[in-house]
């Protein structure tokens, strides 16, 4: 009988590649790749990794060629609308916290924008015609959609379109092309997607991988904080610590009023938090990254 192996599709090259690889490696998966690799088998887990264009990832999972995929929500939703298959054949297992961007409507700076009705009777260039059409329908806007696969932001300059609907992260590309973001259409980040009707054996492997991914993602946002503090200041200090669980308090050799405090904080620890801790009486403060967290 053929061994049960999970197939995961990830982007071959592009914005999601590095982080997808980093996540799999941090989950303890060992594999070898070079620039020509189209598929590789993990050495320590029944997992095969396929390297493809991001546009193909939703379809590969929907059609059951792959069990899992790492892809932007923008790409997933566009393909789902295109297939008109609803959400029945693929589900989002987890948000992965990278590849964040938004699909936005953008107007040339010199074109007036008061509200979304200003898009009426315009031509809008986009690579996401289905998501744009859904947005226009929701807002009762009638506009012409010009579908182009790349360099969408150049369309207004070439008089091909009055506006665009494209992905934005820093906003630099819009700025460079004399465009301004006027309305968000969709917030997006990379997600782990899964074919819904996988076998029990395949689901077990997916669950293991999902748990590891969640643990890695949680650990990335968390810090381990250690410091000394007067016992009397502990109540105040607890209020300062962001998103932390109950601290571990330990006695310090030869000290009666001072203790050592260790705590995991699930939110970013910024300089102002440390300064407030110091002001409240904490000293010898150490903040260290956490590699893995399992509850």
Question: Which positions lie near ligand PRT, rule CB under 6 A?
Answer: 11, 14-16, 53-55, 72, 74-75, 99, 101, 166-173, 188
Residue 236: helix, strand or coil by DSSP?
A: helix
- The pair of three-digit structure tokens given for residue 64, joined into one six-digit string: 């059951």
Is the distance from CB of 127 to CB of 108 less than 8 angstroms? no
Residue 75: helix, strand or coil by DSSP?
A: helix
User: What does the alpha-carbon distance between residue 240 and residue 225 come to, in Å, rounded to a whole number?
Assistant: 12
**Nearer to ligand PRT among residue 4 and residue 173 (C-beta):** 173
Q: Check binding of 55 to Zn ion (CB under 5 A).
A: yes
Applying CB under 5 A, which part among 52-60, 165-173, 186-194, 252-260 lies near Zn ion? Answer: 52-60
Phi/psi for 239 (5° steps) reads: -70, -25
User: What does the alpha-carbon distance between residue 260 and residue 143 come to, in Å, rounded to a whole number?
Assistant: 64
Interface with Zn ion in residues 124-153 (CB under 5 A): none
Q: Check binding of 181 to Zn ion (CB under 5 A).
A: no
**Nearer to Zn ion among residue 128 and residue 135 (C-beta):** 128
Taking the complex as a whole, the smallest distance from the CB of residue 9 to ligand PRT amounts, in Å, to 11
User: What does the alpha-carbon distance between residue 164 and residue 174 come to, in Å, rounded to a whole number?
Assistant: 10
Taking the complex as a whole, the smallest distance from the CB of residue 94 to Zn ion amounts, in Å, to 22
Using the structure block, give the residue that is written with the tokens 């381990």.
224
**Nearer to ligand PRT among residue 131 and residue 229 (C-beta):** 131
- Partner interacting with residue 26 (select from ligand PRT, Zn ion, none; CB below 5-8 Å by kind): none
Burial track 81-96 (b if 16+ CB lie within 10 A, e otherwise): beeeeeeebbeebeeb
Q: Check binding of 210 to Zn ion (CB under 5 A).
A: no
**Nearer to ligand PRT among residue 179 and residue 282 (C-beta):** 179
Is the distance from CB of 23 to CB of 213 less than 8 angstroms? yes
Q: Check binding of 54 to Zn ion (CB under 5 A).
A: yes
- Partner interacting with residue 64 (select from ligand PRT, Zn ion, none; CB below 5-8 Å by kind): none
**Nearer to ligand PRT among residue 15 and residue 231 (C-beta):** 15
Phi/psi for 284 (5° steps) reads: 45, 55
**Nearer to ligand PRT among residue 36 and residue 172 (C-beta):** 172
Q: Check binding of 82 to Zn ion (CB under 5 A).
A: no
Taking the complex as a whole, the smallest distance from the CB of residue 144 to ligand PRT amounts, in Å, to 21
* Closest C-alpha among 67, 27, 62 to residue 49: 67
Residues within the interface to Zn ion (CB under 5 A) = 54-55
């Amino acid at each position: 009988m053929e061994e049960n192996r999970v197939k995961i599709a990830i982007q071959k090259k592009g914005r999601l590649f590095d982080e997808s690889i980093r996540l799999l490696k941090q989950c303890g998966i060992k594999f070898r790749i070079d620039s020509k690799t189209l598929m590789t088998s993990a050495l320590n887990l029944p997992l095969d990794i396929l390297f493809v264009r991001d546009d193909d990832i939703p379809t590969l999972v929907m059609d059951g060629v792959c069990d899992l995929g790492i892809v932007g929500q923008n790409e997933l939703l566009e393909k789902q609308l295109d297939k008109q298959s609803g959400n029945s054949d693929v589900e989002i297992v987890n948000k992965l916290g990278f590849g964040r961007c938004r699909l936005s409507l953008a107007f040339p700076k010199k074109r007036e924008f008061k509200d979304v009705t200003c898009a009426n009777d315009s031509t809008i260039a986009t690579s996401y015609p289905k998501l744009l059409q859904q947005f226009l329908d929701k807002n009762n806007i009638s506009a012409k959609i010009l579908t182009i696969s790349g360099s969408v932001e150049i369309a207004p300059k070439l008089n091909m379109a009055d506006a665009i609907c494209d992905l934005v992260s820093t906003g630099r590309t819009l700025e460079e092309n004399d465009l301004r973001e006027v309305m968000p259409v969709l917030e997006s980040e990379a997600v782990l997607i899964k074919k819904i009707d996988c076998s029990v054996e395949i689901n077990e492997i997916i669950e293991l991988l999902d748990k590891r991914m969640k643990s890695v993602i949680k650990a990335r946002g968390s810090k381990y904080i250690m410091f000394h503090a007067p016992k009397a200041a502990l109540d105040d200090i607890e209020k300062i610590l962001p998103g932390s669980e109950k601290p571990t308090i330990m006695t310090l050799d030869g000290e009666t009023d001072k203790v050592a405090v260790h705590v995991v904080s699930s939110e970013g620890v910024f300089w102002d938090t440390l300064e407030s801790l110091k002001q409240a009486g904490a000293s010898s403060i150490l903040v260290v990254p956490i590699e893995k967290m399992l509850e």
